[in-house]
Structures are given as structure tokens and as C-alpha cells.
């Protein structure tokens, strides 16, 4: 959520920032509410001061053994009534302002390229080489079904479309990828944490999923709980309403979780395979950092996410998203896109974002300095990385002409096998 003070003092700058995000915002009404709020607060403070003065008069009279006049008592009651009405007015104004502010996306960092959509994204670097096949490479779902490690027909019978059943070596490969990601990120200074898959409304609100993206969430209506779409939600909320000493920052966490998304805006897209399912596994990286070096932490986060792909030998590229393609809460985002040999294209496998103080303001999470000063800290997160898409990329990149799939060397200590072959 944006700071009203920033808007008040830089309204034209913020208006332009919203235009960069394809959102034409008229701030006139918000600023009117802001002025009204100041007036009402001032009136309430004056009325409370007067009420306290009158109450003190009554107290003095009683201590002197005298009864306060009826006019004085009526004046006190009238002041109470007026204050209550003004407090209701203040609450109404603040609710209107809050709804308005909640509709605004984050302000893009100055280094973000201005653009309308993904066509204006900027490729920063390419890592690894695309494999040249002596045969026509297959898609991962074809490979997996023939190897007996993926079953989409059974998944559809159990749950419907956009689900997958893993079998045999597929289960071992999925677990191996998860364990490899967790171990590798822990070696780079992240602390492992496991958090609930079900979270409350306050947690969803704090990280920006609500109210903007409620239609994309799976909700348990009887309990007012939501299934997480990413471990970012539950991990980031561990410090909601907390104050962290500067000395303990940065805090870096890695977390495995199952993730659940309706994918309501992706009708007809990626209906086959593991790319866009309602349930999938992911390893998430979350950072809590000081505002002075959050952009440096974003760069290191991108390197950490890419490191696991490099160890797996999977080609990928780093893309800086334009203002029109960033997520709602993000101030700056890099996507990591892995090469999928079956389609001969790059597909997103990680999104690394700096939210600056956007989430922290919703969560009321602050940093305390040695001089006792306090301010909102900065939060960052990125996939480290999506497990299902890694599974798909491995099948496609390491497929062999006989239908088998070679297991990347770094995974073999986890899988206990180095190749998956078709069953005879």
C-alpha cells in the first residue's frame, strides 16, 4: 500500500507512475478526503481538550463538596455526542481513503523500463546453451506419460483439469528437486522454514493478495481461510506487526510448499502438462532487509534463484519486467525463464521482486535503528524455483532418442538413479 504522505507531496509524480502501470488515476477525491481528515482530527482534538477541561471543573467542584451545575453536565454530554459523531465521520473518511489506496499498485523503481506489457520487457542476460537435438524433441507430458511417471488422465478423474499424478521415478525426481533446492539455498545463507498452507484474511491482505486477487484464490468458506498460492504469503507474515533490530537484518528464508491457484485469467493457456496447474510445488526465497540496500539484495536474490538452474545445467535467461508487466505489489521484478526444448522457447520459472515498503506498510513491520529511529523495512521474494516447471525442463532438456531421460548429476544423490527408462 502506498503512503498517503508520498501522494500528498508528489501527486503528479505518483500520477505519472500509475500511468506507467497502465492505470489512469484521478487523485483529486483522495486529496479532498485527506484534507477533510485533517480538519476532523483537529476538531476532535479541540473537542477532547474542551471536554477534559470541563471534566476537570466537575472534578474540582466535587472535591470541594459542591455539585456541578446542570448546564455544565449538559455541556459535557453534548461534547461527548459531538465527539462521537466526529469520530464516526473520521472513520468513514479513513475507510474511503483506505479503499482508494488499496486499489493502487506499487510505484515502479526508477530503473524499471517503461512499457505497456511483456513486449517491453528487457532481456538482461542469457545463461547456458540450448541443446541441439539429433531428433525432434518431445514435450514433457509426452515423455512423462511414456515413461510411466506422469498421469494426467488419472489426475483428471480424481480432481479435474490442470492437475497431475506423479508415479514411480517421477515421485523420486520431484522429491529430489525439492531437497536439492532447499540444501543449495541453505548453503547460501537462507534459513529453512515450513509454514501453514492455510492462512487467514489478514495474511492474504498483508502481502497484497487481497482484496485485488481474491478471485484467483481457493477459499475455505466455513473457516475464512485461504490456501496459499505461494509460500511468500505465510513466510512474509511471520513478522507482521513486529519491529526488527537493524542488527538482525537481513533475514533470509527458504521454504518449500505446495501452492494452489485458480489460474482464472489463463483460460485456454497451457492446458497440457505441468506449466500452469491448480496445484504445484515450489521452493520460495523471502528476504527482510534494510531500505538502504534492498535493490542490492534483489540482484543477489536473482543470482541465488539462477544458481540452482546453473547447477542443473538448464539454460535460462534473466528478464527485467517493464512497468506494464510487473505484479501489483512489486516495485521491480526480474523473471527467470528456463528453456523448454519441446516448444523451443523460454518460460518463466521464477519471479524475483523487490516490494520495498509496500507489503511492510500493510503488515506494519518496521526496522529499529541504534538511534531508536523506526521505519518500515523492505521485503523481497522470489521462487527458488518452481518445482513442476523444473521437472518439465529436465524431461525436455535431458531426453534421449530412445525415450529415456538422463538425471542431472547434482540430483543423483537424491534420486539414487541416473536415468529413467521406459518399462518393458
Which pLDDT value is given to residue 213?
Answer: 85
Which pLDDT value is given to residue 268?
Answer: 61
Domain ranges (residues) in the chain: 4-102, 118-420
Which pLDDT value is given to residue 267?
Answer: 57
According to CATH, the topology of domain 4-102 is Helix Hairpins (1.10.287)
Which pLDDT value is given to residue 266?
Answer: 58
DSSP string, 273-323: TTSS-SEEEEEEEEEEE-GGGHHHHHHHHHHHHHHHHHHHT--EEEEEPPT
Separation between Cα atoms, residue 328 and residue 297, nearest integer Å: 20
Q: What is the mean pLDDT of each run of 10 residues along the chain (424 residues)?
A: 96 98 98 98 96 92 90 92 96 97 97 98 97 97 98 97 97 98 98 98 94 89 93 98 98 98 70 93 98 97 98 98 97 98 96 98 97 97 97 98 98 98 86
Same fold, 4-102 and 118-420: no
According to CATH, the topology of domain 118-420 is BirA Bifunctional Protein; domain 2 (3.30.930)
Q: Please answer whether residues 397 and 154 qualify as being in contact, where contact means their C-beta atoms are separated by less than 8 angstroms.
A: no
Q: Measured at the alpha carbon of residue 141, what is the angle toward residues 135 and 147, in degrees to the nearest 5?
A: 80
**What's the pTM value of the predicted model, to 2 decimals?**
0.93
Residue 256 host element (H or E):
strand 251-260
Separation between Cα atoms, residue 338 and residue 309, nearest integer Å: 8
Amino acid at each position: 500500500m502506498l503512503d498517503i504522505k508520498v501522494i500528498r507531496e508528489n501527486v503528479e509524480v505518483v500520477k505519472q507512475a500509475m500511468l506507467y502501470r497502465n492505470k489512469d488515476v484521478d487523485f483529486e477525491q483522495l486529496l479532498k478526503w485527506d484534507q477533510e481528515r485533517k480538519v476532523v482530527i483537529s476538531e476532535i482534538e479541540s473537542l477532547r481538550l474542551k471536554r477534559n477541561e470541563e471534566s476537570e471543573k466537575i472534578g474540582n467542584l466535587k472535591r470541594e463538596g459542591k455539585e456541578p451545575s446542570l448546564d455544565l453536565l449538559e455541556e459535557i454530554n453534548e461534547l461527548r455526542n459531538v465527539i462521537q459523531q466526529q469520530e464516526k465521520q473520521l472513520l468513514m473518511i479513513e475507510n474511503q481513503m483506505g479503499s482508494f489506496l488499496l486499489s493502487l499498485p506499487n510505484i515502479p523503481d526508477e530503473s524499471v523500463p517503461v512499457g505497456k506489457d511483456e513486449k517491453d520487457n528487457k532481456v538482461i542476460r542469457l545463461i547456458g546453451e540450448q541443446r541441439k537435438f539429433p531428433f525432434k524433441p518431445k514435450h514433457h507430458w509426452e515423455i512423462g506419460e511414456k515413461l510411466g511417471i506422469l498421469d494426467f488422465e488419472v489426475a483428471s478423474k480424481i480432481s479435474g483439469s490442470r492437475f497431475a499424478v506423479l508415479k514411480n521415478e517421477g515421485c523420486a525426481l520431484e522429491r529430489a528437486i525439492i531437497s536439492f533446492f532447499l540444501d543449495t539455498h541453505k548453503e547460501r545463507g537462507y534459513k529453512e522454514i515450513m509454514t501453514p498452507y492455510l492462512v487467514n484474511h489478514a495474511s492474504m491482505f498483508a502481502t497484497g493478495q487481497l482484496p485485488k486477487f481474491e478471485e484467483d484464490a481457493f477459499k475455505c468458506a466455513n473457516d475464512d481461510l485461504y490456501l496459499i498460492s505461494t509460500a511468500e504469503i505465510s513466510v512474509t507474515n511471520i513478522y507482521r506487526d513486529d519491529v526488527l533490530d537493524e542488527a538482525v537484518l537481513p533475514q533470509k528464508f527458504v521454504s518449500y510448499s505446495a501452492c494452489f491457484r485458480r489460474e482464472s485469467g489463463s483460460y485456454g493457456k497451457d492446458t497440457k502438462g505441468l506449466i500452469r496447474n491448480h496445484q504445484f510445488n515450489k521452493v520460495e526465497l523471502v528476504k527482510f532487509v534494510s531500505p538502504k540496500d534492498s535493490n542490492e539484495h534483489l540482484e543477489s536474490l536473482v543470482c541465488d534463484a539462477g544458481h540452482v538452474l546453473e547447477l542443473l545445467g538448464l539454460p535460462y535467461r534473466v528478464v527485467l519486467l517493464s512497468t506494464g508487466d510487473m505484479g501489483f505489489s512489486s516495485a521491480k521484478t526480474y523473471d527467470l525463464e528456463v528453456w523448454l526444448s519441446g516448444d523451443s522457447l523460454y518460460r518463466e520459472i521464477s519471479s524475483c521482486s523487490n516490494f520495498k515498503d509496500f507489503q511492510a506498510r500493510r503488515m506494519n513491520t518496521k526496522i529499529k535503528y541504534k538511534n531508536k529511529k523506526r521505519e518500515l523495512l523492505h521485503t523481497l521474494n522470489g521462487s527458488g524455483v518452481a518445482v513442476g516447471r523444473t521437472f518439465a525442463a529436465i524431461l525436455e532438456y535431458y531426453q534421449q532418442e530412445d525415450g529415456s531421460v538422463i538425471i542431472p548429476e547434482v540430483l543423483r544423490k537424491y534420486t539414487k538413479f541416473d536415468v529413467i527408462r521406459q518399462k518393458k
